[in-house]
Structures are given as structure tokens and as C-alpha cells.
Amino acid sequence: DAGITQSPRHKVTETGTPVTLRCHQTENHRYMYWYRQDPGHGLRLIHYSYGVKDTDKGEVSDGYSVSRSKTEDFLLTLESATSSQTSVYFCAISPVNQPQHFGDGTRLSIL
């Protein structure tokens, strides 16, 4: 509906393995964001992008990296997953200062 897709929707993996989550948009928005949602913490910004190859850190960026090689895709990578990174991850897109449209979320479990 807002033209944003996250993949995978669910993933279970082991500690120490690399994990990549993908966010794909068809809206051509400049801004893309990755959040994690944990009980008691709401939505916390991990990284965001304001253009191709332009990214900046959010409040909980340690242990995560991102890449945006084209407008429509924003990848979030956990280089070596830890149990503390078990969470629900949301991608969002928006024009500047406009409402964000969110993907359906990725439920990531790290055992």
C-alpha cells in the first residue's frame, strides 16, 4: 500500500552468524530508516539514509551496518549477531518531515 517491503519477515539464526535484512521501496522517497522495537523501549532508530550512499547513525547503531546502493533498497546488516539483537525490526520511508510509512516488520530471533 505504501510501497514498502521488508524481507525476510521472520528469521531464526545463531549467535555469531551474519544477518542481512532488506527494505525495498517503490515510492522513490529520499529517506529510509531502520528501527528496532523492544518491550519498554518503543521504536529506536538504528541507522537511516538520506540518499544513495548517504547514511547516518541513530541512537542504537552499535553492532549494525547499513548500505544503500540504489534509491529503492536499504540493507541492514548484523555482522556477528548477538542474542541482544533479538528484536522486531521495522523499516520506514518518508519525504522530509512527512509521516513515515512502515514496513510490516521482521521478527529476528538469535539463539
Partner 1 sequence: AQKVTQAQTEISVVEKEDVTLDCVYETRDTTYYLFWYKQPPSGELVFLIRRNSFDEQNEISGRYSWNFQKSTSSFNFTITASQVVDSAVYFCALSEASRTSGTYKYIFGTGTRLKVLA
Positions in the binding site for partner 1 (CB under 8 A): 31, 33, 35, 40-45, 48, 50, 54, 56, 58, 88, 90, 92, 96-102, 104-105
Nearer to partner 1, 14 or 54 (CB): 54
CA angle, corner 8, sides to 51 and 101, nearest 5? 45
CA proximity to 28, closest of 51, 11, 53, 58: 51
Query: What is the rounded distance in angstroms from the CA atom of residue 23 to the CA atom of residue 77?
Result: 11
CB of 14 to partner 1, least distance (A): 25
Using the minimum distance from each CB to partner 1, give the nearer residue, 19 or 48.
Answer: 48
